[in-house]
Structure 1
Amino acid sequence: MQTAFAIKTAARHCVLAVQATSDEMLIDGIADGEKSAMHILYARHHVRTYRFILRIVRDTTLAEDLVSQVFLDVWRTASQFERRCQVSTWILSIARFKALSALRQRRFEDIEQDEVLQIADDRDDPETAFNRARTSDVLRTCLKKLSPAHREVIELVYYHEMSVEEAGRVIGIPQATVKTRMFYARKALAGLLRNEGIDSLAA
């Protein structure tokens, strides 16, 4: 019993130690060739990176391949990380570059982005569920009518919950430009929604 307890305690301490390890510490470890640090960083960020890429390329097989390429780049270039942004932002900036490069190679000229609203709650009554579904469909349609640049900034700030600064680092533009795009993107989206008879997304 004491042995089992000791094992469980040691395992718990290991888990807590891993959780307490910052992304920056992991990058330092990766730069030193520590594969365990790479495994932990991958476990933390591969799902978000996959979803981010998938929403750009709209191809599950391609997205999976690009995720592998992203983390291979992280492994190769960890020593070049300059700590000017969060590690997660740096990873997504690599992911964005690879996703857009893949689109150019496949001659895709537009970035489809949808599914930004949650699926209707099962507890909703039929009328509420219908209204939510209609709002979701209308929003997806309206988002597709925005320019790629405006859709991208809406995606980063609202779906990925990035700050203006983080979004700017991922896209590679100044914060002022992000704010400008956000202003015009919201204005354009609001106009498109009004034309569809929706004055508020909360409706």
Structure 2
Amino acid sequence: MDAAEDAELVRKAQSGDTRAFDQLVSKHRGKIYAMILNMVKNDADAWDLAQEAFIKAWRALPKFEGKARFSTWLFRISHNVVYDWLRKRKIQGDGELNDEIFDAGKIDPGAATTPHHDARPDEAMQRGELRSQLEAAIAKLSDQHREVIVLREVQGLDYKEIADITNNSLGTVMSRLHYARKKLQAILTTR
């Protein structure tokens, strides 16, 4: 149903219906923003990069053939936007990646991609501590391992979609997930 709805909206948008594309943006912006935020760890940059990804998607939409789901195609564009941005930052930083982009900031609990409910203060504190530990552990992963973990465990994408987004083989995705999980386990058990 979801993919069929996207396909219909894409067809309309390709025919020039900007409202259909706006519906696609509204439907997918939370997941795209959350994926990018998990990679760049900066709210303002994440919003800018998400907007850039949607602009690129709009420009490339006439070429979209529907061989993959629209959401997979959009994640792939977002992946490319983030990696282009990271490369530019690395070049501008004399070959050094700015550690702040990996350590600073947290996911906004009020973001549209997270459910909102009021927990008891002790539960909220425990969740906050666990979230901090998980975010710190994920930040210690390489870019490639962090990306597959976020796409699989946060976004809930299947291996094939991750392979399409990252332009890797299914075996590479499975291997990266395996090693990323082992590294996370090692990091979290040494605390």
TM-score, normalising length from structure 1?
0.73
Higher relative contact order (CA 8 A, sep 6+): 2
- 1:177 correspondence with 2:160: no
Q: Separation in 2 of the partners of 1:73 and 1:23?
A: 17
Are 2:189 and 1:194 equivalent residues in the alignment? Answer: yes
2:93 matched residue in structure 1: none
* Sequence identity percentage: 29
Alignment of 1:15-164 (within 5 A): 22-107=5-90, 109=97, 112=102, 115=107, 122-124=118-120, 126=122, 130-164=125-159
Query: C-alpha displacement at 1:166, in angstroms?
Result: 1.1
Paired position in structure 2 for 1:8: none
What SS does the corresponding residue of 2:134 show, helix, strand or coil? helix
* Poorly superposed stretches of 4+, deviation over 4 Å: 113-119, 121-125, 128-131
* Structure 2 stretches lacking a partner, 5+ long: 91-95
Retained in 2: the 8 A contact 1:150–1:185?
yes
How many Å apart are 1:129 and its aligned residue?
5.1
Q: How many matched pairs?
A: 177
TM-score by length of 2: 0.77
Aligned-pair CA distance for 1:103: 1.9
Instruction: Give the number of the structure whose alpha-carbon radius of gyration is greater.
Output: 1
- Cα deviation per residue 1:94-117 (whole Å; 9 max; x = unaligned)? 111112211221226366276599
Deviation at 1:58, TM superposition (A): 3.0
- Gap change, CA 1:160 and 1:116, over 3 Å in 2: farther
The 3-state SS of whatever aligns with 1:85 is coil
In terms of mean alpha carbon deviation, does 98-107 or 19-28 score higher?
Answer: 19-28
